[in-house]
């Protein structure tokens, strides 16, 4: 059953953010089953749903938007719940299956058929979770530095994800001191790529005491009984079942996920 959809006016962005976006970008708030998503899109044609990760927002795809202008492509870039300008949700709601359900509802509400899914970081498994029961809508798949299945038997969480599990200290760093968004430049292959107004734009939506960055970090499995494991297996099953065109676009210099490419 298709969810009812309500379109609302988006929040006003400061000029220094708008100046970094294509002039033709369309922004709106979509309310679906009581949850509000901030969406940016450009162009018309083949629908491409591009999902970002933690702790960014759809601003991540601004250069992709610019490059696709004039192509027969409709690029749709929603902010995940809890990030960007989408609705804030409790830490307990940051579960892979629930995020997948929310993006699935967005896909249904926007009536996306024959679309290409692009997923980066958490956007990868969240998108795959969303299409697990909607594979008939999926026409193509692009994987960008993400994890698309459960960890192997001998896995070890990254230092970043081990830090996120520390009691008190992690809460203080993530919620009180703006970690990791204040240090995004430190985890880029090219540290100069996030600076000045670009760095400000990534931080801007998460002013205050954000819940999502820590909750999403803890959504990454730290053992084989973690709640995300079953849904990650479902995501991997989608990869094996999908027979359409697919591509992997991977930055090996990614300090967090660069080394994961060998397992994709």
CA-only gyration radius of the chain, Å:
17
Q: Is the predicted pLDDT of residue 44 greater than 80, yes or no?
A: yes
Q: Is the predicted pLDDT of residue 148 greater than 50, yes or no?
A: yes
| Residue 110: inside a domain | yes
- Give the model's pLDDT for residue 72: 98
| Residue 211: inside a domain | no
List the structure tokens of 50: 């591009």
259 compared with 183, residue with greater pLDDT? 183
- Give the model's pLDDT for residue 49: 98
101-114: average pLDDT = 96
What CATH number is attached to the domain comprising 82?
A: 3.40.50.1820
- Give the model's pLDDT for residue 48: 98
| Residue 41: inside a domain | yes
Measured distance CA(90)–CA(13) in Å, rounded: 25
* Residue span of the structural domain in which 101 resides: 5-153+228-263
- Give the model's pLDDT for residue 6: 77
DSSP secondary structure string for all residues of 13-77 = PPHHHHTTS-TT-EEEEEEETTEEEEEEEE--SEEEEEE--TT--GGGGHHHHHHHTTSSEEEEE
| Residue 64: inside a domain | yes
Of 40-49, 149-158, 219-228, 232-241, give the lowest mean pLDDT range: 149-158
| Residue 208: inside a domain | no
Contact 40, 26 (CB under 8 A): yes
| Residue 16: inside a domain | yes
Give the model's confidence band at 106: pLDDT under 50 very low, under 70 low, under 90 confident, else very high.
Answer: very high
Based on the structure, what is the number of domains in the chain?
1
48-70: average pLDDT = 97
| Residue 200: inside a domain | no
Measured distance CA(87)–CA(39) in Å, rounded: 12
Q: What is the largest CA-CA distance in the chain?
A: 49
| Residue 162: inside a domain | no
- Give the model's pLDDT for residue 8: 82
- Say whether the peptide bond before residue 172 is cis (omega within 30 degrees of 0): no
Of 30-44, 51-65, 243-257, give the lowest mean pLDDT range: 243-257
- In DSSP terms, which residues pair with 118 in a beta bridge? 50, 142
121-134: average pLDDT = 97
Contact 52, 120 (CB under 8 A): yes
Q: Is the predicted pLDDT of residue 150 greater than 80, yes or no?
A: yes
Measured distance CA(81)–CA(38) in Å, rounded: 9
Sheet bearing 46-51, strands edge to edge = 5-8, 26-32, 35-42, 73-78, 46-51, 115-120, 138-144, 246-249
List the structure tokens of 196: 């000045």
245-261: average pLDDT = 74
Buried b (16+ CB within 10 A) or exposed e, 151-162: beeeeebbeebe
Distances in Å between the alpha carbon of 240 and those of 17, 18, 62, 261? 39, 40, 31, 17
Indicate whether this model's pTM tops 0.75.
yes
- Say whether the peptide bond before residue 180 is cis (omega within 30 degrees of 0): yes
- Give the model's pLDDT for residue 84: 98
Q: Mean pLDDT score of the chain, rounded to an integer?
A: 92
98-109: average pLDDT = 96
- Give the model's pLDDT for residue 104: 97
């Amino acid at each position: 059953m298709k969810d009812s959809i309500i379109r609302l006016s988006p929040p006003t962005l400061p000029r220094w953010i708008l100046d970094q976006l294509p002039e033709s970008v369309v922004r709106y708030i979509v309310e679906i089953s009581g949850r509000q998503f901030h969406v940016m899109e450009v162009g018309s044609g083949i629908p491409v749903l591009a999902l970002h990760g933690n702790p960014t927002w759809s601003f991540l795809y601004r250069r992709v938007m610019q490059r696709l202008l004039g192509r027969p492509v409709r690029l749709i870039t929603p902010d995940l719940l809890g990030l960007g300008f989408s609705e804030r949700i409790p830490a307990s709601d940051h579960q892979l299956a629930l995020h997948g359900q929310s993006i699935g509802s967005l896909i249904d509400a926007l009536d996306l058929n024959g679309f290409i899914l692009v997923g980066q970081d958490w956007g990868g498994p969240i998108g795959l979770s969303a299409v697990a029961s909607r594979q008939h809508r999926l026409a193509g798949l692009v994987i960008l530095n993400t994890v698309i299945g459960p960890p192997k038997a001998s896995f070890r969480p990254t230092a970043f994800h081990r830090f996120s599990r520390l009691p008190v200290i992690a809460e203080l760093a993530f919620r009180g001191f703006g970690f990791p968004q204040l240090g995004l430049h430190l985890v880029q292959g090219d540290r100069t790529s996030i600076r000045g107004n670009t760095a400000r734009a990534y931080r801007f939506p998460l002013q205050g005491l954000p819940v999502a960055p820590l909750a999403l970090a803890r959504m990454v499995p730290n053992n084989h009984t973690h709640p995300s494991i079953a849904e990650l297996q479902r995501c991997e099953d989608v990869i094996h079942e999908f027979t359409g065109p697919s591509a992997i676009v991977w930055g090996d210099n990614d300090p967090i996920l660069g080394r994961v490419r060998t397992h994709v």
